[in-house]
Structure formats: C-alpha cells, structure tokens
Chains A and B, each alone.
Chain A
Amino acid sequence: MRYLPHTDQDIKEMLAKTGYNSLDDLFPTIPKSYRVKKEMCLPQPLTEWELNAHMAELSSKNASTSSHKVFIGAGSYPHHIPSIIPYLISRSEFMTAYTPYQPEISQGTLQGIYEFQTMITELLGTEVATASHYDCGTALSEALMIALRKKKKQNKVAISSLVHPHHRQIVKTYLEPAGYQMVELPSKPDGTTDLSPLDTMDDIAAVAVQSPNFFGCIENLGKVKEIATKKNIFFITSFTEVLAYGLLKNPGHFGVDIVAGEGQSLGIAQSFGGPGLGIMTSSKQYVRDLPGRLVGRTKDRRGEDGFVLTLSTREQHIKREKASSNICSNNGLNAMTAAMYMATLGKIGIRKIAQTNHDKAMFLKTKLEETGFKVPFATPFFNEFVVKAPDGFEAKRESVKKRGIVAGLAIEKYYPTLKNHYLFCATEVFSKDDIEMLARELK
C-alpha cells in the first residue's frame, strides 16, 4: 500500500523493540471478546487508475457548470474562479497544516487569515470578523445565540420568513433544545419582510433579516435598524450572495450588530453545497462574544511583527461547558480562498463583477418577461429574482433539462402559496447567448 511505508524488516525491528510478537498482539488492552472476528465488508481496494475510472463515472452522473447551464442560486452561486485561486490554495503548506497553534511556524496561515478578517470587515463595513464559521446557516444560529445570551431575560428571537428556508431550519435545530424560540416575520406583497408584527413583540432578544433575501429582493435595512434601536434588541443580518456587497450599501452602513453570511461566491467551488464559508462579523463591542477563532497582531521576542490566535479563552478548549460555542475546526482554508479571491478582484474587479451580475440578471428578467413569465415583486434585486411561470412551464422545464439547461428552482415547497413560482439566478458566467437560448427554449 503506497501510503504505508513500513517494510517487513521495519515491522520486525519495531515489534522487537516494543516486545510484541506480531501486529495482532499490539492490542493487549482490548478484551478478546470485543475484537472484530472477520474482515470488514468493504469494496476491494482500487488502484489509482481504477479509482479515476470509478470517480469519472460517478461525477459524470451530475449536472455541473461545465455540462449544464444552471440558472439557480438560492444559496449557492456559479461564478468564475480565476485559475490562480485553486493553484495557490493547493499549496500544501496551506492545505496540509493544522490549526495555527504554533505561531512560529504558522505565520502563513495566520497572516492570510488576518488579511481575510481585514478585507471582510472592509467589504461588510463592520469592525471585527472571525476566522470563519461552517456556513451562513450555522453562523446565523450562533449570532442569534449571542443575542439570547446577552439579553438574558428574553428567550425569543424574530426572524424573517425570507431568510433562506434551510437557514431557518438550522436555527430551529440549534435553538429549540436550548429552550429558545424563534418567531417568523411574514412577507409583504413587494417581496420584503413585514416588520409590523415587531411592534407588539416585547420579549425578543433580536431581529434577523437576510438581504438580499431568499426572493432576491433587497431589504430596507435602515428600517430594521430603526426598529431594533427603538426596541433595544440585537439587529442581525445575513446574506447568501456576498458579491452583492460589491455594489450595495453594506450592513455596517446600517449599523448592524452582527452579520452572518455565506462566502461561497468568493472563489469557492459549489461542490454540491459544501464546504462553503460561514462569515461572522460584528461591531467591536461583541468581540468577546463571537464564537470561533480570531487572529491578532503582535510581536515576537526579537520585536518582529507577527500573528497569533488570540482571545482564545472564549473557546471550548479552555471554557469547556461555559464556552460561547463548541466550534473547533472551522472553514479556514475557504477563508483563505476568499481572501485570495478578494485580493484578485480588488476594488475595481469586485465592482465590475458585481455590476455584471446585476446586468445579466436584469437581462434574464427582461427575456423571461418576454416569454410570458410574470415578476410578482417590484423590489430591486441583485442577481436573482422570483417569477411566476406561464401554464405548462413544468413540462417545458423537464424537456429543456435534456438540452443541458436547468431553468430555475421551484419555491412552492418552501412557500406553499407560491404555486408555479420559480427563483432564477444569472451571474457573470452566463453569456448573452446563454440567456437568449434559455428564453428561446422556453418559448
């Protein structure tokens, strides 16, 4: 086996040193009756070439951005990934290192994450960011838990029904066993959150709104801030499409307390939904309440600048049952990827790509309207939007699938009243021709 370096001679010598007769004898503390009696039932080992063949076959059974035009976002977005990103992130010094607990020989990871923290706070207008979380849904859950811990007297949070449905499911999974409750805010006819029920809610710790929301609509975060301030509750926002903030006023502009976001669009492969990148960022005053790792700047004994993991007393390995979270491994390599991507785009690139996303989506909207689709919400959007399909669309959608086009995502299963409604997304990866072809095929 090519990963196991031991020769028969090595094994013999090592056994002699340890006083065992055979490899099977190495487990004297495991009672005989517990030992596995027969070999595990797994497939016969494959050579590298057999593995290639098997994986090529498996992967060919999936539609991918290279085989299909998938006009779906809804939390996972197709974007161009510059070649330098996979090239650089594959450097094994980054990829095969552990968490940088020994800073003297981990400065690459540490400076890289410090730069990530810096650029993410610049992008979102906040003051501090953690070294990453798993994904937006889990980050949002933890953000709400911060609010509940800080507002000890309240055990409820209000969350917009236009927050990604999967994120709301995660929040429920996290909150309920801990004895907390979430109340959903309904939507308005314009496709944004109806904030009016907040007026009569006196026992909530936080309000959470996603913008752009699940329908793609840009929420009025200024209004949410106003209400949160008046009620003295936490103002939390989330997002699934981070590139929107290459164009839009960022959450920091609206005085948000904590932001939980998904960073997959920052150069990370869609990879059937994971691993993505949970972004967790806030104003300075909550720095000691944030879950997960933080990189801070300091000096070494010779006075050279350097970086360490800091404020780690918040974390589980020190505070154990009193820790603010149980998170240990995070999505650090994807944070590094995101930093590389932000550095590659820069101020000019991120604006141009964000604007292109919006242009393509507007063009797609126009083309779909020409094909008989209705746009139910007039609210501005970034790169995705909801349409009501004309009769007979479902059959057509099936038939264009065979031609390599995936025409939107049905959202009735998330919003039962929205029959025949679909969420469409267009990004910079779609050309004018792609969009026109979609419209033509759907005629």
Chain B
Amino acid sequence: MKELSELNLPENLKYSDDHEWARVDGDVVTIGIDDYAQDQLGEVVFVEVPEIGDTFSKGDQFGTVESVKAVSEIYTPVSGKIFAVNDSLAEAPELINNSPYEDGWIIKIKADNLSELDNLKDKASYFQMLKG
C-alpha cells in the first residue's frame, strides 16, 4: 500500500470524506474514487454503476466498487440525475486502479444544486484528514 506522501491527489478536484472525488464542469459533476480509495481496495474487479436517468439525493449510494475480497459503496456528494456512466469499466474495471481521475471516472451527474458541493474538501484539507 502507498505511503500518504505517494498519493496522487490533483489540486483541481474536490474530495469527500468517503474518498470520492468530484470535478465540476458547468452543472455536470464527474465523480470517481480517489487514489487513496483505489489503493486501499486493491485490484478492482467489478464496478456497479447506475442507469442513465436515475436520480439520487446527496449522500445516496449510487454504486459499488469491488475487489476480490472487499466491496466498497460509493456515494454521491450532490443530488441530481445521472447524465453518463463510464461503460468502459464493465470490460476494464482496472481503469479505476490505473487512472482513477481520468479513464477511471464512474458517473457524470447533472446537479440540482452545485452549492451542495461546498462542504467537500480541497486537496490540502483532505490530505490533512487522511493524516488524521
């Protein structure tokens, strides 16, 4: 497992306490799990994603990420309607490990209210939380 100093946590993203990241583009928010989460989980073998058009409220579980011996639930930090899901994960779940912020994104959600993202952490405070 990685040392905290080895983690890749891009500056331009927001992080949740449950180790999801969010990237805002207009009213669309892209969500995935961060380097810390993928590293803890180990080699990902399956990602369960919602269907396009499903709606979720902030804090709802929208899917799961599985390794051989563990299942991790993923929660949306923002309410809204699913706009796109990453279909490549079905064939290549390892994208979550190899490219958590780019090819390994999980969903894009059309946000009802972007201000819900305000209490997510920036890199510095998220890193502080991991350090405990």
Contact = CB atoms under 8 A, between A and B. Distances in A.
Contacts of A319: 71
Contact of A318 (B45, B48, B71): B71
Contacts of B45: 313
A288 B63 CA distance: 14
Interface string A305-329: 0000000110000110010000000
B2 interface: no
B93 to A, nearest CB: 12
Interface string A280-309: 000000001000000000000000000000
A4 B45 CA distance: 46
Contacts of A288: 46, 48
A319 B73 CA distance: 11
B51 to A, nearest CB: 12
A288 B90 CA distance: 13
Interface string B66-78: 1111110000000
B69 A318 contact: yes
A318 B68 CA distance: 10
A160 B90 CA distance: 37
Contacts of A322: 71
Nearest to B69: A318
A110 B70 CA distance: 22
Interface residues of A, number: 6
* Residue among A312, A313, A318, A319 with max Cβ neighbours from chain B (10 Å): A313
B43 to A, nearest CB: 13
For chain B, give the interface size range.
under 10
A322 B71 CA distance: 10
Interface in B49-93: 66-71
Contacts of B67: 313
A66 to B, nearest CB: 49
A312 B70 CA distance: 9
A428 B86 CA distance: 56
Contacts of A312: 68-69
A319 B69 CA distance: 10
* Residue among B45, B67, B68, B70 with max Cβ neighbours from chain A (10 Å): B68
A214 B69 CA distance: 42
A286 to B, nearest CB: 14
A318 B70 contact: yes
Nearest to B48: A288
Interface in B11-47: 45-46
A276 to B, nearest CB: 32
* Residue among B67, B69, B71 with max Cβ neighbours from chain A (10 Å): B71
Interface string A180-218: 000000000000000000000000000000000000000
A313 B67 CA distance: 8
B26 to A, nearest CB: 31
A139 to B, nearest CB: 24
B130 to A, nearest CB: 25
Nearest to A320: B71
A58 B45 CA distance: 53
Contacts of B46: 288, 313
A78 to B, nearest CB: 44
Nearest to B73: A322
A85 B21 CA distance: 57
A291 to B, nearest CB: 16
Nearest to B64: A313
B102 to A, nearest CB: 26
Contacts of B71: 313, 318-319, 322
A312 B48 CA distance: 15
Contacts of B48: 288
Interface in A245-300: 288
A175 to B, nearest CB: 25
A100 to B, nearest CB: 15
17 contacts: A288-B46, A288-B48, A312-B68, A312-B69, A313-B45, A313-B46, A313-B66, A313-B67, A313-B68, A313-B69, A313-B70, A313-B71, A318-B69, A318-B70, A318-B71, A319-B71, A322-B71
Interface of A: 288, 312-313, 318-319, 322
Interface of B: 45-46, 48, 66-71
Given A288-B48, A312-B68, A322-B71, 9 more contacts: A288-B46, A312-B69, A313-B45, A313-B46, A313-B67, A313-B68, A313-B69, A318-B71, A319-B71
Q: Enumerate the 10 nearest inter-chain pairs by beta-carbon distance, A residue then B residue, closest first.
A: A313-B66, A313-B71, A319-B71, A318-B71, A318-B69, A318-B70, A313-B70, A313-B46, A288-B46, A313-B69
